[in-house]
Amino acid sequence: MKMVLSQKTIEIFKYFSNLSPTILVRQGNILRARNGTKTILAKAVLDETFPEDFIIYAIPEFLKTVNLFKEPNVEFNETHMVIGEGGFKVRYMYAPKELYPDPPKNEDFTPVESTWGMKLTLDESDLANIKKASTVLNLNTVSFTQDGIVAYSDKSKDSNNFKMEYPNIPAYSGTHPSEFEINFQTDSLDLYVGKYEFDFFCAKRSGAKLTNEADGVTAWLASNPSSRV
């Protein structure tokens, strides 16, 4: 089977490489990845449908190979794929299963029943502002609070920080505390570009489901232990 990988799919592979350099591509059009600490799980619905399961050991290397071609055609075989265009071709080998013994399960994450929740929407520019400020000021924690978003360094809350009001009024479910902090590592917001609905779930532990409906991308983030909910 041959196919042309869309730019969207290439960008999704690039996002998933931030979570894990190795990925199991399952038969079908759904791609899943998980980071090494198992605090982030992501899923994407692709434009293409893959004909079989295979493992890419080093996604960055795979992407560099794909980028050798302007419009790469991919042909899938039992042990490898052939990537090419015109008279140029590359044989790219699949990784053996023993090199990736614990891939994400072929199912969505189901959080524990929450005692309260919060929903809000952040667009691409909102997320870009948070990430840019965090990079410039070396801020490693992003906190969603009752008053808005705060990025700071967990080494000292008295150092530089970045604050942003919520761009829209959050919708709450259940009875939320008057003060709360739902904290995440800043790099967990290195998402596939786009607009996301954040659906926070809060119980003994907290986290959030992030949905980019337009591009079919979903991520589940576990919050930091420092969260107060």
Same domain for 19 and 63: yes
Same domain for 139 and 68: no
Q: Strand, coil or helix: what is 107? A: coil
Domain boundary among 99, 127, 159: 99
The pLDDT of residue 110 is: 65
The mean per-residue pLDDT over the stretch 158-185 comes to 94
DSSP conformation letters of 8-23: HHHHHHHHHHHH-S-E
Confidence of residue 130 (pLDDT cuts 50, 70, 90): very high
Measured distance CA(132)–CA(188) in Å, rounded: 14
| Model confidence at 105: pLDDT above 70 | yes
The pLDDT of residue 188 is: 95
Do 73 and 84 form a contact (C-beta atoms < 8 A)? Answer: yes
pLDDT digits (tens, 9 = 90+) for 7-21: 999 999 999 999 999
User: What separation, in Å, do the N-terminal and C-terminal C-alpha atoms of the chain show?
Assistant: 50
Do 202 and 215 form a contact (C-beta atoms < 8 A)? Answer: no
Average pLDDT taken over every residue of the chain: 93
Domain boundary among 99, 134, 164: 99
pLDDT digits (tens, 9 = 90+) for 93-102: 999 988 888 8
CATH code for position 177? 3.70.10.10
Confidence of residue 25 (pLDDT cuts 50, 70, 90): very high
Same domain for 87 and 144: no
Percent of the chain scoring above 70 in pLDDT: 99
pLDDT digits (tens, 9 = 90+) for 179-227: 999 999 999 999 999 999 999 999 877 999 999 999 999 999 999 999 9
